[in-house]
Amino acid sequence: MNKTKRKIFETSMKLFAEKGYDATSVEDITATVGVAKGTLYYHFTSKEEIFDFLISEGIKLLQNSVDIKTAKYSNYIDKIKAIILIQIKIVDKYQDLVNIILSQLWGKEQRNKKCQKLIYEYINKIEETVTEGMNIGQIKKGDSKIIATEIYGLICSTLVYKMKEKEDFDIMKIYNQCEATLVRGLRN
């Protein structure tokens, strides 16, 4: 991604997170980036395309991080622990992106449906990991859909915690607490 496109991407992410998608105009983006509308339209055909690119890249970043990290483990409890830690780190590093995705998760418009689809695909990948762990006896039997959704729910609750605590956000403290409450319950 070239420098201008990256700046448009990052600025849009910040504005969408601060003001909301609907309240952010193309003019807001171009004024903040310091480029003409033509330059923005050279890289993106619309505000909707910027949004689609933003959430697609964000979920791809999360999924790629999870795939790389979980491939290192053969034990499924370790894979779940890796997923949890990655999600907490993503919340810490990309709070604006997580905020945008969560704010657009509800509703029936096209962008809501796209967010839902991407999140459901991600939760399905977690569910596959949980199911595989159950099938070989490393994870206690249960409803893998519910467990996967609970694991994903950590990302939501971690964001709320981060916003509430502001500067006191200790990734390992949060991870250790999640490991103590969620992962221990999965052990067979």
Report H helices in the chain.
3-19, 26-33, 37-43, 47-70, 76-93, 95-103, 110-135, 144-165, 171-178, 184-186
**DSSP-assigned beta bridge partners for residue 187:** 139
pLDDT of 168 over the 80 cut: no
Q: Over the stretch 40-69, which tens digit does the pLDDT of each residue have?
A: 999 999 999 999 999 998 888 889 999 999
Q: Over the stretch 93-146, which tens digit does the pLDDT of each residue have?
A: 888 888 898 889 888 999 999 999 999 999 999 999 999 999 999 999 999 999
Q: Which residue has the higher pLDDT, 31 or 159?
A: 31
Q: Over the stretch 63-92, which tens digit does the pLDDT of each residue have?
A: 999 999 999 999 999 999 999 999 999 888
What is the CA angle 144-114-22, rounded to 5?
130
8 Å CB contact between 66 and 86: yes
Cα–Cα dist 94/92, whole Å: 6
Q: Over the stretch 139-162, which tens digit does the pLDDT of each residue have?
A: 999 999 999 999 999 878 887 888
- Per-residue model confidence (pLDDT) at position 170: 86
- Per-residue model confidence (pLDDT) at position 44: 94
Q: Does this chain's domain 1-45 share its CATH topology with 50-186?
A: no
3-state secondary structure of 139: strand
Phi-psi label, residue 49: left if phi above 0, alpha if psi -120 to 50, beta otherwise = alpha
Residue-range domain boundaries for the chain: 1-45, 50-186
CATH class assigned to 1-45? mainly alpha
CATH class assigned to 50-186? mainly alpha
8 Å CB contact between 88 and 175: yes
Cα–Cα dist 179/173, whole Å: 10
